[in-house]
Amino acid sequence: MDSKIPRPMPTERGILAFHERCEAFYPADAVNASIEQQRQWYDALCAEFDAPSPAGLTRQDERLAGRIPVRRYRPAEVATETRIFYIHGGGFVVGSLDSHDAICAELAHGARAELVSVDYRLAPEHVWPAAFDDCYDVLRSLLAGGRPLVVAGDSAGGNLAAGVVLKARAEGLSGIVGQVLIYPALGGDLVSGSYVEMAEAPGLATADVAYYREVLKAPADNPFARPLKASDLSALPPAYITAANFDPLRDDARNYAARLAQTGVDVTYREEPQMIHAWLRARHMSPGAEEGFRHLVHGVARLLGTR
């Protein structure tokens, strides 16, 4: 008798078509390939889902803290002095200013706010805390200008966003008015909940999460590296947290949102029932992803005060 558990799969056609296109560029066993090959696949994948730039939006590339590449986005309509600081995903191994360019542009446009994205150092060439330090240095540089920030990130970027917000609280930095965590990796235990239920989910497997952790070499007990390890989540900025049902990281988002709420933090939590990891890229081909992105923009705008 075959007792194998069926692979969890959504039923929405758009997200299934998205996953099929992703598989053609970035195979499920890509973690077994060289880092160089993984980055080539990822770059090709990102280019496949590029989108036209919103009318009137401008970009400017520069360096902050004397060394860290950033890209500034200014939409045609800016309705607030508060900016978005965006940290891209990619397992701490892949990703760049270009990989999330269209996402950042559309988020800035929809929320009517300037956005700054960061090109942090990647593993395995640069292990913990290189990426974290880069993001925190950019955060401090942006806050030094006196303008408020909403800190946002997806996947590995969600981990970094939550981590730098925790460190900012620890160091008494002011000016962060919101945090946005998009299917974040926050340090769950890998052996319970969604890590088991969605261990073979399309787009990201629990084994992939374990691989990326090993590459990064972050300390398991450091709350800045694994925010779920933080003993106290009080007095943190309001949060918008979104997760995908078909994602081993789902319960990281659920549990973090619940713990924030228990301490009195204003939290909006949204779970996309038909989505898989990295669904942001499917926003122009999946009804569920389009709806999720619309809610994300509204959630960011609420934190910015532009809605």
Please tell me the distance from the alpha carbon of residue 61 to that of residue 106, in angstroms, as a whole number. 17
Active site residue 61: no
Identify whether the C-beta of residue 225 lies closer than 8 Å to the C-beta of residue 92.
no
> How many C-beta neighbours within 10 Å does residue 100 have?
24
**How many C-beta neighbours within 10 Å does residue 289 have?**
25
Among 88, 109, 277, 286, the one annotated catalytic: 277
Distance CA 211, CA 30 (A): 11
* Whether residue 19 lies in the annotated active site: no
Any catalytic annotation for residue 189? no
**C-alpha–C-alpha distance, residues 67 and 307, integer Å:** 35
Q: Given 101, 137, 208, 247, which residue is catalytic? A: 247
Quick check: 186 and 257 in contact, CB under 8 A?
A: no
β-bridge mates for residue 240, sequence order: 180, 268
Q: Give the active site residue among 155, 251, 252, 286.
A: 155
38 phi and psi angles, rounded to 5 deg: -60, -45
Token pair in block for residue 31 = 């973690």
Q: Could you give the residue numbers annotated as active site?
A: 155, 247, 277
